[in-house]
Amino acid sequence: MTKLQPLHLVFIFLGGLLLLVIVAPLASMVLATSPTSLLNTAQNKAVTDSIILTILTSFGGTLFFSFMAIPLAYIMARKQFIGKRLISGIIDLPIVIPHTAAGIAVLGFISRDSFLGKAADSVGLNLVGHPIGIAAAMAFVSIPFLFNAARDGFEAVPVRLEKAALNLKASPLKVFFTISLPLASRSIISGFIMMFARGMSEFGSVVIVAYHPMTTPVLIFEWFNSYGLNYARPIAVVFILICLLFFISLRLITKEKKRV
């Protein structure tokens, strides 16, 4: 067994403090919630409806935008061109801007006065206050997680394998689907789940685009303002448990991929 140096003990102590800062508020919230209130909250229709809406809109937005993010991530990993750093900066922009500002940007993009809003309105669809608008707001702030993970995954794929397949007369499309995509799939799946989970937790941009129907983060805010901490806390616990399931799934999937 390796003997710990004094410096290592200091680092472990500091790391323990960091873990305490994260775990202590969550643990206190869970311990302050009675099993009865937790069960009643889980059976509340408003809560279950908000959770279903949150999951479906986040998953739908993640799935839809993945068809654009993954191909772009591949190009960014394989090609050198003018403006590449600019594109990377644009992709990461939603992470650094306030999410209320992101909500205002998305709202202006999908409102009835915009081109997209007018097109949707022509078929009788108002994107503001609609699940599609919620999915767009969620995806706007979470797309960097999928894009960056996919790009890193493609960069880790040896170029020589792709060139060998091309020399054997395989088409670029076949090379992508049989070599590049499978070998980068672990990173892509991780990014997909991270984007999905991040979208589920989004509040700032969603509350501006659609206060109703309420996603779970918006419902927690509503109940906290209207009824107080004792009513909002059980919803938060239920929702955190659901988010935790996705992170456990992430670990299991990536671990299984590594074994394969």
pLDDT tens track for 35-86 = 898 899 989 999 999 999 999 999 999 999 999 999 999 999 999 999 999 9
Rounded to an integer, what distance in angstroms lies between the CA atom of residue 64 and that of residue 139? 9
Token pair 């969620």 is at which residue? 138
DSSP label at residue 168: T
What per-residue confidence (pLDDT) applies to 258?
53
Please provide residue 21's backbone torsions phi and psi, each rounded to the nearest 5 degrees: -60, -35
Rounded to an integer, what distance in angstroms lies between the CA atom of residue 260 and that of residue 250? 16
DSSP label at residue 129: T
Share of residues in the chain with pLDDT > 90 (%) = 68
Query: Into which CATH architecture does domain 45-259 fall?
Result: Orthogonal Bundle (1.10)
Domain ranges of the chain: 45-259
Q: Model pTM?
A: 0.89
Quickly list H helices, the chain. Answer: 6-31, 35-42, 45-78, 84-96, 99-110, 115-121, 131-155, 159-167, 172-175, 181-183, 185-201, 204-209, 216-227, 229-259
**Residue type present at position 15:** G
Task: List, for the chain, all residue ranges whose pLDDT scores fall below the cut of 70.
Answer: 1-2, 250-251, 253-260
What per-residue confidence (pLDDT) applies to 256?
60
Please provide residue 170's backbone torsions phi and psi, each rounded to the nearest 5 degrees: -75, 145
What per-residue confidence (pLDDT) applies to 117?
87
Rounded to an integer, what distance in angstroms lies between the CA atom of residue 97 and that of residue 110? 19
